[in-house]
Structure 1
């Protein structure tokens, strides 16, 4: 079967003050995502080399809610996320996302390097072709849009992607329903939710054919 692999790294991580302290914080954030994602993850978010972390999804339905949640919790530090689908050549490690290899990891690694060169935060690739045209283009645009977002907007978007109502979002983020609606309208978050939901559906469709 196919999987969706995430390989991510921190932007400008070498310039972080108290880097070791931040890595401990990131580890706690990833543990929280792992607990929420549950069986959607075939292999949990794991810190790997330096400031990189990775995970393997068997079901990508929650992947974008998870990524936005990570970004909300580590802001103002930014992370770069490369998503790729394909088979694995090794057994899935259900305990940690290490010691695995295969086309999905190769694509994600190559994409991450390209994202660094292009200074983008989100990318997706599902075949050996250079890009998965429409989803890849959408995430390239989203990379630019999110550059200026404050943590609260990432929080609102993560909750929206997870299916929370406006009152639930207000309670979770500590702002008013009016402020929630203002964030949604200002960044077209409803439209972006529809786009990311469709990309997640396509990722799952792709992995079922592998």
Structure 2
């Protein structure tokens, strides 16, 4: 459930923002998404990215043991190799080798503590839609993104299709803190306007996508063997 605050305009603007200058029409968006997904699928099938980039590690995540291993590590990234081996019914050296391969191939990107925002005094979560004003060039967009990345309370930034250009996830202590962060965001790029939705309640958050296919079984139950 969320509360929509409506458009928040930059100081020099007195009218609601128009379409993102780089946003395609709805039909063009559908064609773009379809073509992008098809191109990515084709590259994955060939185990290759264009431009000589590293091969896709699809074969690693198609292995059932690796999927079960990933599911357990998503539940608890600090689970010991011995416990992982017991839960999976394999030897400890097998687990160590599997984890090493998954790390080296980037399937496991890293390990981090999940800290609830309210535990560090920032329980107010907001999603901020950003639009670039007409005439904003690529260099200005890149500078804005790099500046956003340095903001500690801007947790996520996504380029999106449609009328908005970016979608940000922001945390703060209270609504006044959200407003202050909006001022900072607009100050980082004076060629942007924002539209904000404040979260009233978060019902669940998942640590990542399931390694199992949609039609497959779920992750091993916590506290029991798979």
Report the TM range for the smaller structure's normalisation.
0.3 to 0.5
Q: TM-score, normalised by structure 2?
A: 0.30
**Bigger Rg over Cα:** 2
Q: Per chain length, whose mean CA-contact separation is higher, i.e. which structure has more relative contact order (CA < 8 Å, sep 6+)?
A: 2
Higher-helix-fraction structure: 1
Q: TM-score, normalised by structure 1?
A: 0.32
